[in-house]
Structures are given as structure tokens and as C-alpha cells.
Amino acid sequence: MPEILNPNPSKLAMVPFVSVDDMMKIVNTIGAPKIIAEIAEYVEADFLRWDQFDKTPRVAAHSKEGVIELMPTSDGETYGFKYVNGHPANMARGFQTVTAFGVLARVDNGYPVLFSEMTILTALRTAATSAVAAKHLAPKNSKIMGVIGNGAQCEFQALAFKEVVGIDTVHLYDIDPAATKKAVHNLSNSGLTVIACKSAEEAVTGVQIVTTCTADKQCATILTDNMIGAGIHINAIGGDCPGKTELHKDILLRSDIFVEYPPQTRIEGEIQQLDDDHPVTEIWQVMSGQAEGRISDNQITLFDSVGFATEDFSALRYIRDQLERTGHFVELDLLADPDDPRDLFGMVQRASDK
């Protein structure tokens, strides 16, 4: 851990905090494409040590408006969690659909070592995870990707697949033309050929990869069976809670399905449409060489991604390692730190005399 994050005992109460402003400065200092590619390396490295992590499906509190979730994990030395919400109706009310923050802490004494915004960081790690999975599953030399759903995640996905997978063209479609117009503008200097499409069918025509990242909290059919031909890789990231899907069931039945953590994905992912014993492959097994990914040109591969706590852990670990590199953080006086650990009341009482 960098020295800047190893304060002496008298400063253990001071916790590095990465604000939204700090996160934007970190991204712009390093560059969005590069930071996504670097987070992808951390994500893959942590998948390769999968057995070291405590794993549990996220703890979710569902309501008619959306969901609030906690996503915890630990590798035995460091504990991490993310708080995140998902409220699809927020956009119409002037709020973000997804907001998040995260914490890393030392396991040996329980003290936090990082407190960070994760609204931006979640977008970065989601794109990084999508791209690192596609590196193992998509057709070799894929150049064209269709993105259906051009909201907050769209540009991050496009940059990730350009940087990690090597695509050079992206087809964009959203039921809201303003969202597509926004994405076209934001990607205008990305080095990608960006094509706005008038329908989902047009967006998937001639592509090797399809990414679906829509936000509606309902069972939807963003991709119908006739839209997906042989040899396609599908990166399905919008279906991420019970009752929310994007793909027609028949697509799943024709695909080889890859997931992060089956106990969570069977509740939240596209495979909630299938029987509980439907075969799936865990993506860490492909990365480690314990299972096969793409094995033929005609194979349809589906990464049914719902987001898992180890990916947030990886992203927080990456940001922690960039603090000394960028200097973009502040220290918060977050923890009570009396001179005598038994005299918390005395610390409070003495403060009144100052």
C-alpha cells in the first residue's frame, strides 16, 4: 500500500476520500480509455484469484420505485463494499438512475483506507468488465459493435471495447433519439466510426458484438430471436435485478451463457427466465483456462452480466493505487480516535473545553 495511505497511528482516523470532482480529475489525468483498460487488468487479476474472495449475492432492498443494494466482499486482507441504487424513473425527475459510493478497509483492524464516489467508477468498472469478458468470448478480430440503450453507460462501453477488444465502429440505437444524439456527440473525438441507427434491427446488422444496456425495471424484449445470427457475442448488462430482462428467452436457449456468480445471476440476470439447473459457465473459469469460451465461428456467446462485488473491489483497489500517482483526494476525519481507546466519552468532554 502506498506510504500516503499508511498514516502513523495518530492519523489512523484520517481516511482518503475521492469525491466526484476528484474522480473526474483522476479520469481526465489518466484518460478515460486508458483508465478503463487499466481497471480491466485489475478486474481480470481478481477473477484469476476467485477462490480468495468471500462471495455473496448483493443485499438488495426492492421497492416499486427501484432498488438499493449493498455489495460486499473480502480477499482476507482487504474488505470492500459498494452502496448503489437503481431507480429507472429518476431520469424523468431530474435525478441519476444509478448513484453509488464505496469503501475499502483493512481486515486486520477494521479501519477504512478509502472512501470513494462510485457513480462514475461503477460506469468505468462495468465497461471494463464487459470488455475483459469479450476479450475471451467475442469473435476474434471483432470490429463492429451495436449498442442498444444509449444512456449513461453507452460511451464507457464503446471506449472499453475500442481499447480492450479493438472495435473501430459502433452502431447506436435508443428509443429516445436525444440519447443517441448525445452519445454520438460525446464519441465524436473517440477515434470510433459512430453510426446512429433508427431501429434496434439496424443497430445489430453486420455487427460481431451486441451490447444491451437499457434501464427500464421490467421484463423487456430488447433483442428478439430473429435479430441474433450465428457467431454473435452478446454483452447483456441491462438486466440486473429480479423482473428485469432484455433478451427473448429463445436467444438464451441458443447461446452458451457465461456469468459472474451464478447464485446472484440466477436471481437478477437474463437466466432468471430459465430453469435453475440450466448450464452456465463462470467467467473466471474461462479466464483461468479451466473452461472453454468461444470454440467455434458459429457459436453465440452471451455474457449475462449483473455486476458483482469483486469488480467493485477491483475498481476501488485500482483507485487506491492511483492516489499517490494523481494526488486527487482529500483526507476525512472520519473515525473517532481518542488517546485512550477506552475513553471515548472523555474525548468528547474535552472537546467542549476548546
Q: What mean pLDDT is predicted for residues 206-225?
A: 86
Task: Tell me which CATH homologous superfamily contains domain 3-120+310-333.
Answer: ornithine cyclodeaminase, domain 1 (3.30.1780.10)
CA atoms of 295 and 64, how far apart (whole Å): 42
Instruction: Give the catalytic positions in this structure.
Output: 240
CATH 3.40.50.720 fits 136-307, yes or no: yes
Q: Which amino acid is at 289?
A: G
Rg value, the chain, Cα: 21
Reported as a single tens digit per residue, the pLDDT across 156-212 is 999 999 999 999 999 999 999 999 999 999 999 999 999 999 999 999 999 999 999
**Confidence band for 1, pLDDT divided at 50, 70 and 90:** very low
Q: Return the pLDDT at 354.
A: 67
Q: Give the single-character DSSP code of 66.
A: -
The single-letter DSSP state of residue 225 is G
pLDDT at 216: 65
What is the residue extent of each domain of the chain? Answer: 3-120+310-333, 136-307
- DSSP summary character for residue 50: G
Nearest by Cα to 156 from 131, 183, 191, 124: 124
Residue 242 pLDDT: 78
Residue 300 has pLDDT above 80, yes or no: yes
Per the model's pLDDT, the better-predicted residue between 92 and 233 turns out to be 233
Q: How far apart are the first and last CA of the chain?
A: 35
Which DSSP string corresponds to 93-142? GTS-S--EEEEEEETTT--EEEEEE-HHHHHHHHHHHHHHHHHHHSPTT-
pLDDT of 51 reads 97
Q: With bands split at pLDDT 50, 70 and 90, how would you rate the model's confidence at 263? A: very high
Task: Report the percent of the chain where pLDDT is more than 90.
Answer: 81
